[in-house]
Amino acid sequence: MTALCLNVEDLHVVYDVGSTALGRRRRLHAVNGVSLAIPPGETLGLVGESGSGKSTTGLAILRLIEPASGSVRLGNTDVAGASRQEIRKLRRRMQIVFQDPFSSLNPSMTIQTLLEEPLLIHTDMPASERRAMVGKTLEAVGLHPGYAVRYPHEFSGGQRQRVAIARAMIVRPEFVVLDEPVSALDVSTQSQILNLLKTIQTESGTAFLLVAHDLAVVRLMSPNVAVMYLGEIVETGPSARVYDQPAHPYSAALISAVPFPDPQRQRGDRIILRGDLPNPMAPPSGCRFRTRCPFAMDVCTAEVPLPVPIEGGGTASCHLHTHGPRLGGQSLRPLIHTRRMQMV
């Protein structure tokens, strides 16, 4: 087995959210036993709705919030067990790009200062080398080195996101969390940034965790994907397999919810999910997805589904594979199609 860049096992994140009238602490289990592995130079997509815990997972891996338990290893280094001081050093090796480049860049710093800051903290490069590095990195993200003297407000959203990417990449990290890196950008510039991230990865060999809600974006960017629902991973596998042949009803619903840019091809085999994400303070018993699942059976209330290996790679945690239609690791597509026919 090749060495992994990032290996996460059984990660839990619990938020304290005040207390009840009787003084009992109320807790929200935002991430519930998540395991992920990313080889060097590869991207793993992590998809789900808001409230699924996907961003929290990314932040907990980087220790930007404290995990309750679980192991996180970056190469051979234990991240979850590292002391505060050790974490500061580890920051050079793991970085993050946030969704909104309007709030993630300090407006009072020039681009030069913004990009030099990580070098000042993490390296002992002399000033002349730092300046050269800033120029080189700006060019790598497709910005003119002369822009270094400008301030963030002088740039468009797409250009700011390039700066944020440059700031993350300038210390040559092994691993970067990309938290919805294009969803705040104008549509015409989104694919510029996606293509840029791909190029940068090819050159730098950095591993990415791409947190996103759009499975089509993940399908383009990463060979593998994990789908999260209410703090748990419900399906994993090669992105192409999950996108074309989803084996969990939630993955299928997420894919079909994104409207396709073709008026002739709408609402075909679309799965409509009724209702909202349930209250994470009191998740449903058995399968957490059962309250919104169009295929829910009795067993789904009683038992927690275990991961089942899926044909074509990965796993899905869904009773449909072992009960009812007993899909046995096959795609859900035929089932969706039959259901659609029955409804018509």
The residue among 257 and 297 lying less far from other proteins, judged by its C-beta, is 257
Closer to other proteins by CB, 192 or 330: give it.
192
Strand ranges for 175-286 from DSSP E:
175-179, 207-212, 224-229, 232-238
Contact flag: residue 208 with other proteins (CB under 8 A): no
Interaction between residue 10 and other proteins (CB under 8 A): no
Contact 308, 317 (CB under 8 A): yes
Among 17, 149, 272, 281, binds other proteins (CB under 8 A): 272
3-state secondary structure of 220: helix
Q: Which of residues 144-173 bind other proteins (CB under 8 A)?
A: 156-159
| C-beta neighbour count of 325 within 10 angstroms | 14
Measuring CA to CA, which residue among 219, 203, 205, 211 is closest to residue 142?
203
Please report, as residue ranges, which positions from 240 to 259 form the binding site for other proteins (by CB under 8 A).
Answer: 243, 253-254, 256-259
* 190 is an interface residue for other proteins by CB under 8 A: yes
DSSP state of 282: S
Question: Where would I find the beta strands (DSSP E) of 85-231?
Answer: 94-97, 175-179, 207-212, 224-229
- Assess 198 for contact with other proteins (CB under 8 A): yes
7/192 with CB nearer other proteins: 192
Q: Are strands 77-78 and 69-74 parallel, antiparallel or unpaired?
A: antiparallel
Which member of 234, 273, 293, 310 binds other proteins (CB under 8 A)? Answer: 273
Does position 220 interact with other proteins (CB under 8 A)? The reply is yes
Q: How many CB atoms lie within 10 A of CB 317?
A: 23
Beta carbon of residue 127, minimum distance to other proteins (angstroms, whole number)? 31
> Which position among 84, 188, 282, 342 is part of the footprint of other proteins (CB under 8 A)?
188
- By C-beta, is 173 or 231 nearer to other proteins? 231
214, containing H or E segment: none
Whether residue 242 contacts residue 251, with contact meaning beta carbons closer than 8 Å, is answered with yes
Q: Find the helix packing angle between 187-204 and 157-169, rounded to 10°.
A: 20
Residues 36 to 65 in contact with other proteins, rule: CB under 8 A: 49-50
Token pair of 29 as six digits? 């289990």
Using the rule CB under 8 A, is 281 a contact of other proteins? no
Q: Rule CB under 8 A: is residue 118 a binding residue for other proteins? A: no
Which of 54, 219, 248, 288 binds other proteins (CB under 8 A)? It is 219
Q: Between 89 and 267, whose beta carbon lies closer to other proteins?
A: 267
CB of 253 to other proteins, least distance (A): 6
- Asked if 105 interacts with other proteins (CB under 8 A), we say no
Q: Could you give the strand order of the β-sheet that contains 175-179, starting from the edge strand earlier in sequence?
A: 94-97, 175-179, 207-212, 43-47, 224-229, 232-238, 315-316, 308-309
From 54-62, 86-94, 167-175, 214-222, span contacting other proteins (CB under 8 A):
214-222
- Quote the tokens at residue 274: 């009724």
Cβ atoms of residues 318 and 234 within 8 Å = yes
Interaction between residue 338 and other proteins (CB under 8 A): no
- CA gap 75, 91 in Å, rounded: 14
CB of 161 to other proteins, least distance (A): 11
| Residues near other proteins, by CB under 8 A | 49-50, 156-159, 186-192, 194-195, 198, 213-214, 216-217, 219-220, 243, 253-254, 256-268, 270, 272-274, 276-277
